Amino acid sequence: MNWLGQLLGSEWEISPAGGATGDAYYAEHNGQQLFLKRNSSPFLAVLSAEGIVPKLVWTKRMENGDVITAQHWLKGRELKPKDMNSQAVAEMLRKIHSSKELLDMLKRLGKQPFQPSSVITQLKQFIQARQYPIPQLDQALLYLEHHLDDVQSGEKVVCHCDVNHNNWLLTDQNQLYLIDWDGAMIADPAIDLGPLLYHYVEEREWGSWLERYGSSLTDNLRLRMAWYVLAEKAMTTLWQEAKGNQEGFHQGLEQLHALMKRLAGAS
């Protein structure tokens, strides 16, 4: 962290902010608090301007080419699972999915729209590399292939792709933000809506949640959400096995089985 001390000055108190990359830090001096990150995407500036992430204070380029961004470090809390059924979450996701500015920026950064067929290709490669078949994965792949044409949605928007409650920040001033945009894609909005509704909202309340979001629960949207939730679960289950996490792998297989039963009951 010496480079940060040189950048800010020795009077700043700097501490790691965690995260997978280890490139995020907190800094504090005289009551001013900053969240610093190395080599954030230029996308951050647009997210800040749109009020979706905490305000970007400055951006500085280091001599070695690294770019450091500083955002306001706001006091608050992560959302709890029960908070995800709120008006504020629905409105924030609608704002993101309908933002032309966010979409234009991702396109300028060279992002191509996500193709659902790529999931099937990946899954097939994983499954074929296995030494023995697993019925839950074979059934999931069969379902995904069978309904591939049904998820070729013409609507492609900016999707966060990890709307877990831990990525939502509610400040002490009651301002809501969605953070951690490293996995953002141009994709079918169902890629965000499916995991959110399946994991956090009772199915009988899906219609009212989607009304607050600005949409309605059509048969096609229901199918697309199911498709992406199943695809995500199949991929994460295989990743657990690849990492040697047998407990996570078997838990994933159980969840896949329960999901397939749910989808069979709904058809």
Residues taking part in catalysis: 162
**β-bridge mates for residue 28, sequence order:** 13, 33
As a whole number of angstroms, the distance between CA 148 and CA 224 comes to 9
Q: Cα–Cα–Cα angle for 81, 82, 84, nearest 5°?
A: 75
What phi and psi values does residue 186 have, to the nearest 5 degrees?
-95, 115
Pairing between β-strand 157-159 and β-strand 76-78 as defined by DSSP bridges: unpaired
As a whole number of angstroms, the distance between CA 205 and CA 267 comes to 19
Q: What is the CA radius of gyration of the chain?
A: 20
Which of 211, 216, 114 minimizes the C-alpha distance to 159? 114
- DSSP H helices in the chain: 2-8, 43-49, 87-97, 100-108, 117-128, 135-146, 190-200, 206-213, 219-242, 246-266
As a whole number of angstroms, the distance between CA 130 and CA 146 comes to 22
